[in-house]
Chain A
Amino acid sequence: MRVLAALSGGVDSAVAAARAVDAGHDVVGVHMALSRNRDQFRTGSRGCCSIEDAGDARRAADVLGIPYYVWDLSERFEDTVVADFLAEYAAGRTPNPCVRCNEHIKFEALLDKAVALGFDAVCTGHYARIVLRPEAADPAGGVVRELHRAADLAKDQSYVLAVMGADRLARSMFPLGDARSKDEVRAEAAARGLGVSAKPDSYDICFVADGDTRGFLRTRLGARPGDVVDTDGRVVGAHDGAYAYTVGQRKGLSIGRPAADGRPRYVLEVQPVTNTVVVGPADALAVRAITAGGAVWLADDVAGTGTGDGPWFVCTAQVRAHGEPVPARARRTADGGARVEVDGELRGVAPGQSVVMYDGTRVLGQATVDGTERG
């Protein structure tokens, strides 16, 4: 196969590309430039956006003996991922930019361009497994591809990949899905002579320069002072912009008066229209059900097809990249979304977050949270 290996300049994508080369594929390395104004060096834990990272990607390609190119996707990144990030926060929601990047950039802009230029697949360093199920009853006689959690659950990234959908999965390769640990991947990188073997992991939002999301939002959206109120509507504090608050947040509320019962208070709701942040006790965060939109299904055998509501199915639901999955039942809804009824304990779910439904390690589908039912 002709494989485009996305090289971020980090250790994971370099080892993934190396494994694709070993598997006998015709591999070309591409580094995506996602910002026009790049820093010279990496700062803190931001990944893949500095000139140093581009240089590391180039050296990895040299070591692997594969061609290397830089593709400028910065405009697309700004128009999709960054614009969505700002619009969602401005609407009082809590977006996950990594999900949007996989949706719009890696498995859309990059993948579509790669296919148009003659590639068969895009290879990335994500930790997730694609499982082929030839025995599944596919009327067309083709294979069914399932997306599963990585062998190393601590590194599993299936949560941020679920958005890509079945067609995209057919043109993707995740050679690290079976890796037992990050240490194994680092050791393999060192053994292969890849200089990035000891490079620190990245985990912050790549386009927020110093990890200060609140500062980034204030710069891009402007200050919008408003009230912090309790569940009875009493003003208990002030804020500079409701967009800086997330449901479930406890720190940085700057509330002068303690609660009557003396218990800590959390953000319960962000109301963008009135520019109000509602706070209250932890038990008011417990979620009973989630309604979500923009569902993408990877398991028609479970979720069903057609235009009406789908059948209920048992699953576990996960609402954060490294959150615990909780027992739930869910169904596809006629409006293109999903309804998830939680059986276990789930707190602090904000609109805008992704909810991913699993059967064991298998991803069944994902949708974006629109609202929750509490109590």
Chain B
Amino acid sequence: MLPAAIDALTAELGRTGNASSLHAAGRAARRTVEESRERLAAALGAHPSEVVLTAGGTEADNLAVKGLFWARAAADPARRRILVSAVEHHAVLDPAHWLAASQGAEVVHLPVDREGRVDLASLATELRSSHERVALVSVMWANNEVGTVQPIAEVVALAGRYGIPVHADAVQAVGAVPVDFAASGLDALTLSGHKVGGPLGVAALLARRGLDLTPVLHGGGQERGVRSGTVDTPAARSFAVAVETAARARPDVAPRIAALRDDLVRRVRAAVPDAVLRGPDPLRPGAAPTDRLPGNAHLTFPGCEGDSLLFLLDSAGVQCSTGSACRAGVPQPSHVLLAMGVDEREARGALRFSLGHTSTAADVDALLDVLPEAVTRARAAGLASAAVAGRAARR
């Protein structure tokens, strides 16, 4: 967490008051919440009334997908289609699939190219042929695994022709690339506290004024009546401080992190020539710094299993991820890589290195000190596994 966000959180934790109460302590808490809302809005190019505070990015995504689907289907029962990119986070994909399984929604997965960018022609075709049946479009601002920044402006322009609302999960994007809600033309946008140096357990859905959203949580009618529940005042203030700080620091921090990431990619390629960078190549001539999240390097290592590499690097003090989070503790081949046309075997050798505002050149040096040996060992482990499978198959 950013020190300023920790200070804000701990200062507020000592204060009493429910922002919904009418007495002095309640009014003070309300004032803190509303000031925080204004600061969030200002940092994100939104109007304060567009900020709906939630207890996490997953909740905000659920509110966007379910809330928009229910509201649109209630207004016009023919609108049952949910258009999502094939590389969405599970917090968007799973609510959409749940609506399909239980409420008669139809989920359309928009394909992506080899770099993970959503195919606009498919979106255009889909909208042209069935726009009167579409409830909403949800395309993430930037992908959490491979860092691809999506063409949000083009998505908004296409859907806008038919007046179809667009949601973007921008959890990875805020603080990493410029995000301006009003300028984006989006109807709804998700951001989360802990991804910008704020606390865990607080997030927001920016929802355009007048956007018809059916609530997921019912109760006291807080947050425009679409998200009931006592507002977490300390978290709101700390979240606002973090977003404000991250947005202000971004023009200096993002290029520094991107330079470190580029160095990492260059050196990994030199050390392990057959490693494959997934997502847009930031070293390609003409690459724009906003094509890819600055702190993201996602690579596949042929012949290695990601869990072997993760174990070896973790033992050597380098913490990375096998690409996507585990489902129920079991590493699954990433749906993002599969959607990008990576085959299942290659997808198993995936590792994601994430750099943040505290990362240094020494961290990249430390990785390169241990990576070549780890890859050699992981390959041997992969060969051992392949030999076992081959022998078993012959029996």
* A contact set with B: CB distance below 8 Å: 28, 31, 33, 36, 38, 51, 54-55, 58, 67, 69-72, 74-76, 79-80, 83-84, 104, 108-109, 112-113, 115-118
Contacts and interface: CB of A to CB of B under 8 A. Distances in A.
B49 interface: no
Given A71-B307, A79-B393, A117-B377, A112 B388 contact: yes
B377 A69 contact: no
B389 A79 contact: yes
Given A36-B330, A79-B389, A80-B392, 8 more contacts: A31-B329, A33-B330, A51-B328, A69-B310, A70-B330, A71-B307, A75-B389, A115-B384
A117 B389 contact: no
Smallest CB-CB A-B distances: 6 pairs: A116-B381, A112-B384, A33-B330, A116-B380, A54-B329, A80-B392
8 contacts: A38-B330, A51-B328, A69-B311, A104-B392, A108-B388, A113-B381, A117-B308, A117-B312
A79 B381 CA distance: 18
Contacts of A58: 329
A117 B308 CA distance: 7
Interface in B43-92: none
Contacts of B383: 116
A53 to B, nearest CB: 10
A38 B328 contact: yes
Contacts of B315: 28, 67
Nearest to B374: A117
A328 to B, nearest CB: 28
Interface of A is mostly: helix
B314 interface: yes
Contacts of A51: 328-329
A368 to B, nearest CB: 12
Interface in B188-247: none
A78 B393 CA distance: 11
A54 B328 contact: yes
A72 B329 CA distance: 9
B104 interface: no
A117 B393 contact: no
Nearest to A112: B384
A113 B304 CA distance: 11
A186 to B, nearest CB: 25
A113 B308 contact: yes
B261 to A, nearest CB: 26
A118 B377 contact: yes
A115 B380 CA distance: 9
B334 to A, nearest CB: 13
B385 interface: yes
Looking at A67, A83, A109, the one whose CB has the most chain B CB atoms below 10 A away is A109
A102 to B, nearest CB: 14
A82 to B, nearest CB: 11
Contacts of A109: 385, 388
Given A113-B381, A113-B385, A117-B308, A70 B326 contact: yes
A41 to B, nearest CB: 12
Given A109-B388, A112-B385, A72 B308 contact: no
Looking at A55, A67, A70, the one whose CB has the most chain B CB atoms below 10 A away is A70
A144 B315 CA distance: 33
Given A79-B393, A116-B377, A70 B385 contact: no
Interface string B370-395: 00000001101101110111001101
A55 B330 CA distance: 11
A70 B331 contact: yes
Nearest to B382: A116
A61 B388 CA distance: 28
Interface residues of B, number: 26
A109 B330 CA distance: 17
B284 to A, nearest CB: 33
Contacts of B395: 84
Contacts of A74: 330
Contacts of B310: 69
Interface in B295-331: 307-308, 310-312, 314-315, 326, 328-331
B338 to A, nearest CB: 15
Contacts of B326: 70
A113 B384 contact: yes
B14 to A, nearest CB: 31
Contacts of A118: 312, 377
Contacts of B393: 79
Contact of B385 (A55, A67, A76, A83): A76
Contact of B329 (A67, A70, A104, A112): A70
A84 B332 CA distance: 25
Contacts of A112: 381, 384-385, 387-388
B384 A116 contact: yes
A73 B311 CA distance: 15
Nearest to B344: A75
A126 to B, nearest CB: 20
Contacts of B330: 33, 36, 38, 54, 70, 72, 74
Contact of B307 (A67, A69, A83): A69
Contacts of B378: 117
Nearest to A79: B392
Nearest to A83: B392
Given A31-B329, A33-B330, A117-B308, A104 B381 contact: no
Given A113-B308, A113-B381, A117-B377, A76 B389 contact: yes
Contacts of B329: 31, 33, 51, 54-55, 58, 70
A84 B311 CA distance: 31
Contacts of A76: 385, 388-389, 392
A67 B314 CA distance: 9
B395 to A, nearest CB: 8
Nearest to B377: A117
A69 B235 CA distance: 32
Looking at A69, A75, A116, the one whose CB has the most chain B CB atoms below 10 A away is A116
A72 B384 CA distance: 15
Contacts of B332: 36
Nearest to A50: B328
B266 to A, nearest CB: 28
Nearest to A114: B381
A27 B197 CA distance: 34
B389 to A, nearest CB: 6
A1 B384 CA distance: 21
Contacts of B381: 112-113, 116-117
A72 B311 contact: no
Given A69-B310, A79-B393, A104 B388 contact: yes
A198 B390 CA distance: 40
B13 to A, nearest CB: 27
Contacts of B389: 75-76, 79
Contacts of B311: 28, 69, 117
